[in-house]
């Protein structure tokens, strides 16, 4: 994904020990595919997991028109998703429902029985690369069972199901292990800026995005999001425990209310360039402004502070800050580590119903920054258009 950083960044900104499964429901609805997995070897595990989970895995396609050197051409995107509620709520990646750098409202969902149903994107956040699609159908839908991503360990079996490359290879099953935990990879091959990712060597290719990563019980432990193209066996998934509160709130309210900390911030390297001085740390966020009546103000944070940690999570930049804030809800508290005048300090912050969207002062700042961002985008687009026109004139027939 192409990310344009403005001078002042965003406001808000993350085994087989027994296979007998208890019958339990997913976090958002009853999982109707009550299959008990009792396996003794890897091949049997993969087979049993596939049998249990395939009815919950779907294909998602987007269609649109894109301008090219040859004029308007029809383009199509393909990805995967997993049913998380029998009422038709499907979890996927935000980049799966994007076309021409825009989130697409209308998508086509292909069920396990190859039935195609029109769906709508009801929520998406490109920064954490997650989206929820809703379909309305009389078909009986099987919701996946959501596992506990905090309970997994390196070396545990991992099974991925999805549609690599195209729907021609739909419901492809690959198997591997959990290769690493708590990874941060940035924007790689279409993914977001999630921290705390699950690393696996189960094959994940284009089209697998949005599909589930499953444990040996057939429970969803992550949503596959990116693969490092320059290496083999380096795939990453967003932990399901991070996503559960989002699913619950979107299903209940139709959207997700992000937790706001109430600061205008920029990455420390950007601050160093603007102010012409070397910052005492290489990673963190520089506090440019603290808004009144916000959790940050109540915690005593001030302009000029550099926040480096919230709870156990390192704040590397604005992107990681936003990801970290997804872990907290109204009423939660966390310890914030920050630098002031070169000295490390800590303070306790409590998240409230404060909303950056309802803060007039914050919205004014955001609008000014968005205007600058759009101005820069238009400048770059004009340059690209001019170069393309020169190319057409010189080489076109």
CA nearest neighbour of 309 among 295, 297, 321, 296: 321
Q: What is the number of other CB atoms lying within 10 angstroms of the CB of residue 44?
A: 13
The residues that bridge with 390 in the sheet, in sequence order, are none
Q: Which of 85, 129, 267, 365 is catalytic?
A: 129
Is 113 catalytic? The answer is: no
Q: How far is C-alpha 108 from the geometric centre of its chain's CA atoms?
A: 21
**133 and 84 Cβ atoms separated by less than 8 Å:** no
CA 264 to mean position of chain CA atoms: 22
CB contact at 8 A, 346 and 336: yes
Residue 85 burial by CB count (10 A; 0-12/13-18/19+): exposed, middle or buried?
buried
Q: Of the residues 179, 209, 216, 320, which is catalytic?
A: 209
Taking the CA of residue 193 as centre, how many other CA atoms within 13 Å lie in the half-sphere pointing to its CB? 19
Please confirm, yes or no, whether 6 is among the known catalytic residues. no
- Contacts of 33 by beta carbon, 8 Å cutoff, 6+ apart: 52, 53, 55, 56, 142, 145
The HSE-up count of residue 151 (CA atoms within 13 Å, CB side) is: 13
| Catalytic option among 27, 80, 95, 320 | 95
- 294 labelled catalytic: no
Query: Which DSSP state fits 129?
Result: T
For residues 235 and 227, what is the distance between their CA atoms, to the nearest angstrom?
4
Of the candidates 124, 94, 117, 112, which has an alpha carbon nearest to the alpha carbon of residue 58? 112
Under 8 Å between Cβ of 162 and 211 = yes
Residue 99, CB half-sphere, CA atoms under 13 Å: how many? 21
Q: Which residues are designated catalytic?
A: 95, 129, 209
């Amino acid at each position: 994904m192409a990310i344009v950083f403005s001078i002042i960044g965003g406001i808000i900104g993350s085994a087989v020990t027994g296979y007998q499964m208890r019958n339990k429901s997913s976090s958002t609805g009853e999982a109707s595919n009550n299959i008990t997995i009792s396996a003794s070897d890897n091949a049997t595990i993969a087979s049993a997991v596939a049998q249990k989970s395939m009815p919950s895995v779907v294909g998602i396609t987007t269609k649109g028109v894109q301008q090219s050197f040859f004029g308007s051409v029809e383009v199509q995107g393909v990805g995967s998703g997993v049913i998380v509620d029998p009422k038709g709520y499907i979890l996927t990646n935000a980049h799966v429902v994007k076309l021409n750098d825009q989130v697409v409202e209308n998508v086509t969902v292909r069920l396990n029985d190859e039935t195609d149903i029109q769906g709508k994107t009801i929520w998406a956040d490109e920064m954490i690369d997650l989206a929820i699609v809703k379909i309305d159908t009389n078909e009986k839908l099987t919701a996946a069972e959501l596992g506990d991503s905090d309970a997994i360990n390196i070396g545990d079996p991992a099974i991925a199901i999805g549609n690599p490359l195209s729907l021609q290879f739909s419901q492809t099953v690959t198997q591997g292990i959990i290769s690493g935990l708590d990874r941060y990879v940035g924007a790689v091959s279409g993914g977001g800026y999630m921290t705390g990712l699950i690393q696996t060597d189960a094959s994940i290719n284009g089209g697998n995005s949005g599909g589930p990563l499953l444990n040996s019980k057939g429970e969803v432990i992550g949503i596959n999001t990116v693969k490092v193209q320059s290496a083999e066996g380096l795939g990453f998934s967003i932990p399901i425990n991070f996503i559960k509160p989002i699913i619950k709130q979107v299903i209940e309210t139709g959207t997700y209310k992000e937790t706001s900390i109430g600061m205008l911030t920029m990455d420390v390297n950007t601050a160093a360039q603007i102010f012409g001085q070397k910052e005492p740390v290489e990673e963190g966020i520089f506090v440019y402004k603290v808004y009144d009546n916000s959790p940050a103000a109540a915690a005593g944070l001030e302009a000029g502070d550099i926040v480096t940690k919230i709870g156990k999570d390192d704040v590397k930049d604005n992107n990681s800050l936003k990801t970290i804030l997804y872990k907290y809800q109204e009423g939660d508290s966390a310890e914030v580590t920050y630098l002031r005048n070169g000295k490390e300090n800590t303070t306790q912050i409590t998240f409230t119903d404060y909303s950056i969207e309802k803060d007039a002062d914050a919205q004014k700042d955001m609008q000014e920054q968005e205007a600058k961002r759009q101005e820069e985008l238009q400048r770059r687009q004009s340059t690209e258009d001019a170069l393309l026109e020169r190319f057409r004139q010189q080489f076109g027939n």
